[in-house]
Structure 1
Amino acid sequence: MPKFTTIENEQIRKDLLVKGRNIFIKYGLAKTSIDEIIRDCGIAKGTFYKFFNSKEELYFEILINEVEVREAVLNELFREDLSPKELLSAFFHFSFNSVENNPFLQQVFDNDEHERLIRKLPVQMSEFNKMNAKRGFHAVNTLMSKGTLPIDDPRVVVGIMQAVMTLRLHKNEIGDEIFPFVKDMIIEFVVEGLLKEKI
Structure 2
Amino acid sequence: MSGFSAAERERIRAELIEAGRELFDRFGFERTRIKDVTEAVGIGTSTFYQFFDSKEALYVAVLRVERAALEREIESAVEVADGPREEVRALLRTMFREVRSNPLISRLIVDGELRALQDRLSAAEAASIDADARNAVDVVDAGDAGDAELPLASRWAAVEGFRFDDPELVDALFHALVFVARSRDAPIGGSDVAYERVEDALIDTIVAGLFAADE
* TM-score normalized with structure 2 length: 0.74
Among candidates 181, 190, 196, match of residue 206 of structure 2: 190
Structure 2 CA distance for partners of 1:68 and 1:147, relative to 1, 3 Å: farther
Task: Kindly indicate whether the alpha-carbon contact (under 8 Å) linking 2:118 and 2:145 is maintained by their aligned counterparts in 1.
Answer: no
- Alignment of 1:139 with 2:139, yes or no, is no
Instruction: Tell me by how many angstroms 1:161 deviates.
Output: 1.3
Task: Kindly indicate whether the alpha-carbon contact (under 8 Å) linking 1:84 and 1:147 is maintained by their aligned counterparts in 2.
Answer: no
Where in structure 2 are the equivalents of 1:106-121 lying within 5 Å?
106-108=106-108, 117=117, 120-121=120-121
Task: Kindly indicate whether the alpha-carbon contact (under 8 Å) linking 1:16 and 1:37 is maintained by their aligned counterparts in 2.
Answer: yes
Structure 2 CA distance for partners of 1:112 and 1:194, relative to 1, 3 Å: closer
Task: Show structure 2 runs of 5+ residues with no match.
Answer: 127-143
- Alignment of 1:102 with 2:64, yes or no, is no
Instruction: Tell me by how many angstroms 1:29 deviates.
Output: 0.6
Kindly provide the amino acid, as one letter, of the partner of residue 145 in structure 2: F
Residue in 2 that maps onto 1:158: 171
Deviations 1:78-101 (A, max 9, x none): 433513322211111112212222
Task: Kindly indicate whether the alpha-carbon contact (under 8 Å) linking 2:35 and 2:45 is maintained by their aligned counterparts in 1.
Answer: yes
Kindly provide the amino acid, as one letter, of the partner of residue 29 in structure 2: L
Instruction: Tell me by how many angstroms 1:17 deviates.
Output: 0.9
Per the alignment, in what secondary structure is the counterpart of residue 174 of structure 1? coil
Task: Name the CA distance, whole Å, in 2 between partners of 1:117 and 1:128.
Answer: 10
Counting matched residue pairs gives 192
Residue in 1 that maps onto 2:6: 6
Task: Name the CA distance, whole Å, in 2 between partners of 1:33 and 1:110.
Answer: 24
Structure 2 CA distance for partners of 1:115 and 1:88, relative to 1, 3 Å: closer
Instruction: Tell me by how many angstroms 1:113 deviates.
Output: 5.0
Structure 2 CA distance for partners of 1:11 and 1:159, relative to 1, 3 Å: closer
Q: CA RMSD in A?
A: 3.0
Residue in 1 that maps onto 2:15: 15
Matched-pair identity in %? 26
Structure 2 CA distance for partners of 1:111 and 1:28, relative to 1, 3 Å: farther
Residue in 2 that maps onto 1:86: 86
Task: Name the CA distance, whole Å, in 2 between partners of 1:178 and 1:20.
Answer: 35
Task: Show structure 1 runs of 5+ residues with no match.
Answer: none
Task: Kindly indicate whether the alpha-carbon contact (under 8 Å) linking 1:150 and 1:194 is maintained by their aligned counterparts in 2.
Answer: yes
